[in-house]
Every structure is written in C-alpha cells, then in structure tokens.
Structure 1
Amino acid sequence: MLPTNHRLRDSADFSAVLRSRRSGRAAGPRLVVTVATSEAESQRVGLVVSKAVGNAVVRNRTKRVLRHRMAALLPSLPDQTDVVVRANPAAGTAAASELRHDLDGLLSAAIKRRR
C-alpha cells in the first residue's frame, strides 16, 4: 500500500504531471508512465485505470499489482518526483509478472527522459 503522503489525489496534480514540459514519458503496449519534477517534498504516485481495461474485478487487480510494485520502488525514485501510471486495455489480460516487468522498464526509461 502506498502511504498517504506518496499519493497523487487531485485531478489538478494528475494534469500537472501529464502536461508538464519537464516530464519524461515512456510507453509500452500495456502501460504508459509519465514522470515529472514536482514541488512536493516526497515522491508521489498516481494510477489511471479506466473501464477500458476491464470490469471492476480486473481493474482492481491491475491497480493492486501496480500499487504494490510502486510502493516497492518508492525508495529508488529521485526526491520531488511525481509519477503517473496509465494502464492500457491490454493490461487487463496481462499477468502480474508482466505488469511488474513493464513498470520497471518504463519507469527507468521515463526517469532518464525527464528534462
């Protein structure tokens, strides 16, 4: 579980990350990861899992896998970093190990591309 101070909550915060000129972005068939520098004191993470991913059971499973992996990766993130992870429809049929592998690779690529 992600601690409260490490969560993106407001739509304005999500929009700020997605529209930032100083963001890095990496995309794959199942996930899109966007990383931006923020004014917040700690790293923050937000997940976007729409109904296109699947029914409620599939969406919640996908969110649990992504949330758990991001909680493990928090200590390795640079300070004052916001991350938005968007699940594409293909994420609903992917195994948990595939989602974790995709997230690891895309997160490191997005951090490298950040300006």
Structure 2
Amino acid sequence: MKEMKMPTSDSYYESLIESLKDAEHAGGYIGAILEEKDPEPALLRNAIRKVIEARIRMNALSESAKEHHEKVDKMLTESGGSEIYSLVELLEALGFRLEVTVAEIELRAESESTDFAESELSPEPASL
C-alpha cells in the first residue's frame, strides 16, 4: 500500500475519500475492516460506501458495481454481515485469510451514470 500523507488543511473525511481513489489503498481499507477480531458490520458497510463515493467522484463507478453495492448494502443492513464474517472466520479456522487486492484489469466507468447522491453515502452516525 502506498504511503499517503494526510493534508492538514482539508477535513479528515475529504482526505479519506481522496486517498480511497487509490485502488490499493481502498482494498487495504476494506481488508483491514474484514480482519477485525470483533467485527462491526456498520464499519464494513460505511467503508464500502466511502470507497463507492471515491469511485463516484472519479466518475469510475460502473452500473454493475452500483447494482452489486445495492445488494451487498441490503444484506449488510438485514443480516449485520453475519455471512461475510462467518466466511472470514471459517477461512481463518482452515488456515486461510481473505484478502482484498486490486484486480489485474483497470477499473473504468461504464457509459451509464450513477444515481447515487453524495448524501446517500454520508457516514451514518455511530451508535454507542
């Protein structure tokens, strides 16, 4: 993963979204959340939303990615991500690790535009 310096003049959120435009950084960001020993599904959901927002700002979110995001977001909302975290735990018990890496092909936007508004992707308030 590339070393990235956070600018002091921008907000943390804007700096994070800017850093997530880098595919390696975005993959590492999601991967780190999947590796948590005490998983918090809301964090995974928000991390994916932030990566989606970065792609939208790059005009690099395909219609296919949008559709898959809607399905995964619904699953994470309804089940709390139990399926994903169960898979991670099973793989660890078998001696494997799930890793998020950059695909060999270059990600590019399809000709269709996205219907996501930035307000839809804003981080949800954390509940304590």
- Is the structural similarity TM-score above 0.5? no
TM-score under structure 1 length normalisation = 0.32
Structure showing greater relative contact order (alpha-carbon pairs closer than 8 Å, 6 or more residues apart) = 1
Higher share of residues assigned strand: 1
Structure 1 or 2, whichever has the larger Rg, is 2
TM-score under structure 2 length normalisation = 0.30
